[in-house]
């Protein structure tokens, strides 16, 4: 077994696709409209689906916002330099909600960014 994807419902698919592709540098792997079901599915990632886990971004037509709930935490991405990644994300119009620095009670350098729907994404510096 392996993880295939994580699904995050989005209110504005174009905004979300711009964030994940232009700000975080992922690729749009596939996008399909389902007119009978009134929804669109888009998949983004750094690798092809056969090679790694991806993010599924479903957009239900006519729904522009979701409650995130209290159980959701975040998606984590490995980066070489969390400070440089934050600067790059800000330059591309992304929102950094916690600047790069050591995690509380530890030494691992982390940062957090937020996508257009409010989903949190942790950047973990890997040396």
93-120 confidence digits (pLDDT tens): 999 999 999 999 999 999 999 999 999 9
Q: Any idea what the Cα angle at residue 4 is, between residues 14 and 110, rounded to 5°?
A: 70
- Cβ–Cβ under 8 Å, residues 94 and 77: no
Domain around 48: 5-60
Using CA atoms, how far residue 87 sits from 24, 34, 65, 93, 100, in Å, is 12, 37, 28, 10, 10
Q: Which of 17, 35, 60 is the last residue of a domain?
A: 60
Catalytic residue (one of 67, 114, 122, 125): 122
Work out the pLDDT band at 89, boundaries 50, 70, 90.
very high
13-42 confidence digits (pLDDT tens): 999 999 999 999 999 999 999 999 999 999
CA nearest neighbour of 95 among 116, 74, 69, 126 = 116
Catalytic annotation present for 114: no
**Within-domain flag for 12:** yes
80, 34: one domain: no
CA distance 39 to 45: 20
Does the pLDDT value for residue 127 go beyond 80? no
41-84 confidence digits (pLDDT tens): 999 999 999 999 999 999 999 999 999 888 889 999 999 999 99
37, two tokens: 């079901």
* Full-model pTM: 0.89
**Within-domain flag for 15:** yes
């Amino acid at each position: 077994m392996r993880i295939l994807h994580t699904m995050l419902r989005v209110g504005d698919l174009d905004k979300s696709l711009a964030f994940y592709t232009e700000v975080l540098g992922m690729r749009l792997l596939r996008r399909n409209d389902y007119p009978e079901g009134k929804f669109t599915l888009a998949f983004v990632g750094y690798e092809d689906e056969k090679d790694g886990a991806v993010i599924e971004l479903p957009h239900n037509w006519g729904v522009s916002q979701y409650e995130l709930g209290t159980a959701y935490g975040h998606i984590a991405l490995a980066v070489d330099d969390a400070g440089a990644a934050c600067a790059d994300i800000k330059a591309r119009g992304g929102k950094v909600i916690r600047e790069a620095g050591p995690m509380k009670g530890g030494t691992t350098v982390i940062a957090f960014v937020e996508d257009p729907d409010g989903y949190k994404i942790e950047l973990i510096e890997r040396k």
